[in-house]
C-alpha cells in the first residue's frame, strides 16, 4: 500500500508523547505529518519552535490555503479546526468546538479521510476525552490504517480506549513502538 500522509491526534500528555515520536523521523521521511494537539486557546508557538529544534523535518503551524508537502510536520493553530481540502491544501475553521475541542482531532481526521482515502495513516495518542475515535474509524472505513497508543502506556488512557473501542485499529502499540511502525509504513510511500 502506498501511503501519502499521516494524521496524529493527542491531548493530555501529548507533548511528551510527540517528543518521543516526531524527532525519530529522518530528513528523508517521505510523508507529511499533520498533528492536532489539544491546547485550547493557548499559543503553541513555543512548542512548535522547540519541536522544530528537535526534529530533522521542518515543524510549523499549518496555514490556510497552504499546500501539504512531504518534509513537514504541521500543527493545527490554537483555537482553529484544521481541515484538509480536496486540492491537498489546508483550511482553518472557527466553527463550534467538537468534543469540547478546537482544534478537533475528529474534524482533521474526517476531512483527511475524504481526501487521502486509503492512503492515510491515522494515529491516536494519549488524551483525556474521546476526540479522535470517530475520525479514526472513518479513516479505517475509507481503507486507511489506524494506530492507537496502548492505554497502559498513555499518561491519560481515555482517548486511546475510546479509539480502540470504536475504530478497532490494525495496531495497538506502546509509545516506543509507534515511530518505528510509522517509519516502516512510510517506506512504502511513492
Say whether 49 is catalytic.
no
Is pLDDT at 189 greater than 60 in this prediction?
Answer: no
Please give the pLDDT value at position 96: 78
Q: Over 90: is that where the pLDDT of 125 sits?
A: yes
Domain count, the chain: 1
| Contact predicate 7/112, CB 8 Å | yes
Report the pLDDT value the prediction gives residue 113, as an integer from 0 to 100.
Answer: 98
pLDDT at position 102, please? 81
Cβ atoms of 27 and 54 closer than 8 Å: no
What is the mean pLDDT of the segment spanning 65-74?
96
Domain of 13 in residue numbering reads as: 5-186
Give the model confidence (pLDDT) of 90-105 as tens digits: 999 888 777 778 899 9
How distant, in Å, are the alpha carbons of 13, 42, 49, 94, 178 from that of 123?
Answer: 15, 23, 22, 24, 9
Find out whether 107 and 93 touch, Cβ atoms under 8 Å. yes
CATH number at residue 10: 3.40.50.180
Checking if the pLDDT of 1 tops 80, the result is: no
- Mark whether 11 is an active-site residue: yes
Cα dihedral across residues 51, 82, 123, 44: positive or negative: positive
- The pLDDT score that the predictor gives to residue 186 is 93
Kindly tell me if the per-residue pLDDT of 76 is higher than 90.
yes
Higher pLDDT, 134 or 96: 134
Catalytic status, residue 38: yes
Determine which one of 101, 119, 130, 131 is catalytic: 131
Task: State the residue for C-alpha cell 475515535.
Answer: 133
The whole-model pTM stands at 0.96
Amino acid at each position: 500500500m502506498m501511503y501519502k500522509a499521516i494524521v496524529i491526534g493527542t491531548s493530555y500528555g501529548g507533548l511528551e508523547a510527540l517528543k518521543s515520536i516526531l524527532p525519530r523521523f529522518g530528513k528523508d521521511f517521505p510523508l507529511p505529518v499533520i498533528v492536532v494537539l489539544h491546547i485550547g486557546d493557548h499559543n503553541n508557538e513555543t512548542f512548535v519552535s522547540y519541536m522544530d529544534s528537535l526534529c530533522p523535518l521542518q515543524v510549523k503551524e499549518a496555514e490556510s490555503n497552504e499546500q501539504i508537502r512531504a518534509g513537514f510536520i504541521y500543527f493545527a493553530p490554537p483555537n482553529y479546526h484544521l481541515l484538509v481540502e480536496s486540492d491537498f491544501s489546508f483550511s482553518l475553521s472557527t466553527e463550534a468546538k467538537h468534543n469540547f475541542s478546537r482544534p478537533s482531532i475528529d474534524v482533521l481526521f474526517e476531512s483527511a479521510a475524504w481526501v487521502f482515502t486509503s492512503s492515510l495513516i491515522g494515529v491516536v495518542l494519549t488524551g483525556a476525552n474521546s476526540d479522535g475515535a470517530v475520525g479514526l474509524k472513518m479513516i479505517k472505513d475509507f481503507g486507511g490504517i489506524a494506530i492507537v497508543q496502548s492505554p497502559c502506556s498513555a499518561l491519560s488512557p481515555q482517548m486511546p480506549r475510546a479509539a480502540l473501542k470504536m475504530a478497532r485499529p490494525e495496531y495497538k502499540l506502546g509509545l516506543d513502538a509507534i515511530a518505528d511502525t510509522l517509519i516502516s509504513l512510510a517506506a512504502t510511500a511513492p
